Amino acid sequence: MRYFIITAFGKDQPGIVAGITKILYEEGLNIEDSTMTRLNNEFAVMLVVQSDDNISAEELKKALSIIEKEKELTINVKEITDEALKDKKEVGAVYNIVVYGADKPGIVYNVAKLLADKNINISDLRTEKSNDLYVLISQVEFPPEVSEEEIEAELNRLKDEMNIDVSMEKQESVEM
């Protein structure tokens, strides 16, 4: 089995997802994981696909070139190595961190730097801006050695420094 990551983006219009996934379907590829979303007026597609056949990244890229031309997209294909697939790390706990406030430069950078300095991995992050309100929503993974109090203190420091609001909540789900 081979795995590839595909990115595609271009001016938002109907038919981008249909066009790309038609080719993947015809090539016998499974979509393992994906995010497809509109960013301003651009539509961005990120996919991890899996193939049972021995298709190469070049062949896949070539197959996708039809839709690339038709919809004027920019498409990239990269094979994911076996080592990268097997590399699973230990996670202590998952937290949701939400930061919001008046728009100003450096919100994302300062939050991300704080997390990186503590070896906290971001598994999902999105930002929205509406008029002057800036919102950052993220899901992060604490390594086992990091404590909630420690990060809460750091985030509170950032909150005062940048005059933003921050909330952090442990992500818990209940099996019902």
Partner 1 sequence: MKKLEILRYPDERLKKQSQPVIDFGKDFKEFVDNLLYTMKNSPAGVGIAAPQVNKHIQTIIVDASGYKHKYNKTNHGLMILSNPRIIAHDGEIIIREGCLSVPDYTGNVKRHYWIKVEAEDINGKTITFDTEGFEAVVIQHEMDHLIGKLFIDRVASPKDIFKRKVYKK
Task: Return residues touching partner 1 (CB under 8 A).
Answer: 33, 88-91, 94, 123, 141, 171-176
Tell me whether residue 54 or residue 173 sits nearer to partner 1 (CB atom).
173
Least distance CB 40 / partner 1 (angstroms) = 18
Least distance CB 108 / partner 1 (angstroms) = 18
Tell me whether residue 33 or residue 42 sits nearer to partner 1 (CB atom).
33
Decide: 26 and 40 in contact? Cβ < 8 Å: no
Tell me whether residue 4 or residue 142 sits nearer to partner 1 (CB atom).
142
Between the alpha carbon of residue 83 and those of residues 79, 80, 87, 137, the distances in Å are 12, 8, 6, 30
d(CA 121, CA 141): 5
- Burial class for 29, CB neighbours closer than 10 Å (0-12, 13-18, 19+): buried
Alpha helices in 71-171 (DSSP H): 82-86, 107-117, 148-162
Least distance CB 175 / partner 1 (angstroms) = 4
Tell me whether residue 33 or residue 165 sits nearer to partner 1 (CB atom).
33
Least distance CB 166 / partner 1 (angstroms) = 19
Tell me whether residue 132 or residue 172 sits nearer to partner 1 (CB atom).
172
d(CA 31, CA 39): 21
Least distance CB 37 / partner 1 (angstroms) = 9
The tokens for 92 are: 């202590």
Sign of CA dihedral 151, 142, 134, 109: positive
